[in-house]
Amino acid sequence: MDQDRLEQDRSRLAEAERRQRLLSDLSRELLDYVGPDEIEPLRRIVRRVSESLSNDWCAFALVQPDGTLKNVVAFHPDPRQRELEKKLSALLPPRRWDEPPAERNALLARGPVVAAEITDEMLRGAASSEEAFLTLKEMGPTSAVVAPMFDGALPLGTMLLASVGTGRRYSGDDLDFAFTLAGRAALAVRNARLVRELAAERDRQRLERLEADRRFAELRAVFDWDPNGIALFDPDGILRYRRKLAQAKPADREPMLARVRAIFANRDATSRDDVELERPRHRWLTRNSVPVRSVDGEYQGRLVVYMDVTEQRELDRQRADFFTVAAHELRTPLTPLSMYLQSIDRRVARGQAVDGELMTKARRQVDRLGKLVEDLLDVSRLESGRMHLASSDVDMNELVDEVVVDFRGSTGNHEIVFQRSAGPVFVHGDVERLEQVLVNVLQNAIKYTPQGGQITVAVERDGGEVRISVKDPGIGVPEEEQTKLFQRFFRAGNATTRNYSGLGIGLFVSNEIVRRHGGRFEVKSEVGSGSTFIICLPAVRQEAAEPVGGPRVLLVDDDPEILEATGQILREWGYVVDEARDGQVALSLARTARPDLMLIDLMMPVMDGGTLILRLREEKVAEGVPLVVFSADRDTREKARQLDAAASLRKPFELDELQAVVERLLHPKPAA
């Protein structure tokens, strides 16, 4: 008997040592795991425990957020037992962790619960259906112990140890082991959850940092893009951030400092005032400041934004000047118009005849008023987007020629020289608006050119562009003001001081028209030496736009009236005419576009006709081209013979004479 008791004690001691080694090994293994998966340490426990207990189940269930108890991991060495467990898990509905009776619920009892002998009655109580009961019967549990798992006072889950078949029988001697093992498992779950929470917190903080960095980058981009100066001060008035602000000297230092002190003295108020700076250059700034407060309303400092309003003030000044000039320009034609109308009214009242010239003069002033109003309407159309452009292929040689002819007829004090392109040049656009641009630029050239000056208008093709240049020897534009020429209401300083008329919107409108045609303006100017305005427009492809023209005639005469009249007649007869008022221009035209016939006046200043003919032959320009000379001298025919000209005409000549000579020298003959 003593021997049996001794064997039992030795066996219990060996079992206790084995269980203690198992707990020690599990503790080391669980300490090695530092992951966020709370199920992984439980997997390790069930496998080690089942292997140690040979034929026993080890399973864990965890309390879910909805209060149910869910089996999360289970293991038995027998594969058939594992299959039956999966089937049973699918058959049993979830149950709440606090489901009675308390004496069989380890979490409610807050301690291990032992079922030393599992009866069929217990199995039927645990099964929700006959199929579940039969599955339990097939599994054959004979004894079990359930130990609770807690996270502090909160229920965490349960651990189940169960034997099947003829395996061990659990008793009160197993409670300490089960409770200790469940405690180690609870600690492992809590550690995994803590790791997961720390990882989530780390990710949250990382995302917050990324979000803060993104917002900072966006804010900095806004600050960098913002043309205004920005300054941020802390609660003590110390500058913490500055953007686009440099050292500057105000016009009046002491009042400026007093104003700054007053702004910072009142932590609740916003402020807005104007600041005038003298250096590094004269500027006007609008200063706005607001207090910066935290979410809870604590004062964090002050944000100051400086907005440069110099250009706005300048624009306001220009606008005011514009209204002054506009009033003057509108009153100027109104004065003579009123006088003409009063004179007409008096004549009608007296029964006298109304002079037709008086009516013409009155109508001219009405046209002048209409032009001013139309200019103002163009500005309105541009600003409201209501200016619409027609579309057609425009021959710029012909359009410029028509404008030049019109101006030659209306101004007798200026010499206007037109240099045609060597070949046809076409652009796609609105012919009336393009004519408006040419008229405006040529009007300015005449307006700002001293009496008797020569204005040169040239058309040329440069690659994919048509370039129309208007060169004058006028007053010029200061270099620092050339970039402002196309601003609305702008008038150059030297033009304003000399009291030139105009609203200051012509170039603004012209630039917008050219820009909407896909072109641009170029300006070259020097004060006292004149200006060159170049209109650059996209060219239409030559092969698509080039028309079939008649023979080309180069007409050279220093008299603009003869040049205009003769050129017009020749064009009516179907010829393409290049006109030149001096020998140098004639040489240039002959080089760029070979003529089929040349008509040259012998009596010209600087380079006379004879010299021009010699230069053409020396440079071998237009070789073989028939030459007709004309002059008022009696010996014109003899001079023609000496110059080896094909024909001569003595001024004034008849149209029939001109037509006969041209038709004889050009073949085929054009229709009269």
CB atoms within 10 A of CB 79: 8
Give the mean pLDDT of 248-276.
80
Say if residue 327's pLDDT is above 70.
no
Query: What Å distances lie between residue 502 and 163, 334, 368, 434, CA to CA?
Result: 111, 15, 12, 20
Q: Do domains 2-196 and 316-384 have the same CATH topology?
A: no
- pTM to 2 decimal places: 0.45
Instruction: For domain 548-672, give the CATH superfamily.
Output: Response regulator (3.40.50.2300)
Q: Please report which confidence band the pLDDT of residue 333 belongs to, taking 50, 70 and 90 as the band edges.
A: low
3-class secondary-structure state, position 78: coil
**pLDDT tens readout for residues 212-259:** 888 878 877 776 676 677 788 888 888 877 766 665 556 677 777 788
The rounded distance, in Å, linking the Cα atoms of 657 and 646 is 14
Say if residue 564's pLDDT is above 60.
yes
What does the pLDDT read at residue 203? 92
The rounded distance, in Å, linking the Cα atoms of 325 and 501 is 8
Say if residue 660's pLDDT is above 80.
yes
The full DSSP string for 146-163 is EEEEEETTEEEEEEEEEE
The residue whose two tokens read 């078949």 is 165
Say if residue 499's pLDDT is above 60.
no
Instruction: For domain 2-196, give the CATH superfamily.
Output: GAF domain (3.30.450.40)
Rg of the chain over Cα atoms, rounded to whole angstroms, equals 52
Say if residue 156's pLDDT is above 90.
yes
Give the mean pLDDT of 4-31.
76
What does the pLDDT read at residue 58? 92
Which sequence spans correspond to the domains of the chain?
Answer: 2-196, 227-308, 316-384, 388-407+414-547, 548-672
Say if residue 668's pLDDT is above 80.
no
What does the pLDDT read at residue 543? 44
**pLDDT tens readout for residues 536-546:** 999 987 544 44
What does the pLDDT read at residue 286? 86
Indicate the CATH number of 388-407+414-547 among 1.20.1370.20, 3.30.565.10, 3.30.870.10, 1.10.10.10. 3.30.565.10
According to DSSP, residue 604 is labeled: -
What does the pLDDT read at residue 62? 95
Give the mean pLDDT of 44-55.
84
Query: Are the C-beta atoms of residues 131 and 91 closer than 8 Å to each other?
Result: yes
Query: Are the C-beta atoms of residues 657 and 649 closer than 8 Å to each other?
Result: yes
What does the pLDDT read at residue 108? 93
Both tokens assigned to 648: 């001569």
The full DSSP string for 13-71 is HHHHHHHHHHHHHHHHHHHH---S-SHHHHHHHHHHHHHHHSSEEEEEEEE-TTSEEEE
C-alpha atoms less than 13 angstroms from C-alpha of 219 in its C-beta half-sphere: 9
Say if residue 66's pLDDT is above 90.
yes
Percent of the chain with pLDDT over 70: 86
- Residue 670: name the closest of 566, 576, 565, 595 by CA: 576
Amino acid at 467: R
The rounded distance, in Å, linking the Cα atoms of 351 and 364 is 25
Indicate the CATH number of 227-308 among 3.40.630.30, 3.30.70.260, 3.40.50.300, 3.30.450.20. 3.30.450.20
**Higher-confidence residue: 256 or 60?**
60
Say if residue 361's pLDDT is above 80.
no
Of 22-36, 110-124, 231-245, the least confident: 231-245
Is the domain spanning 316-384 CATH 3.40.50.720? The answer is: no
Question: What is the rounded average pLDDT for all residues in the chain?
Answer: 82
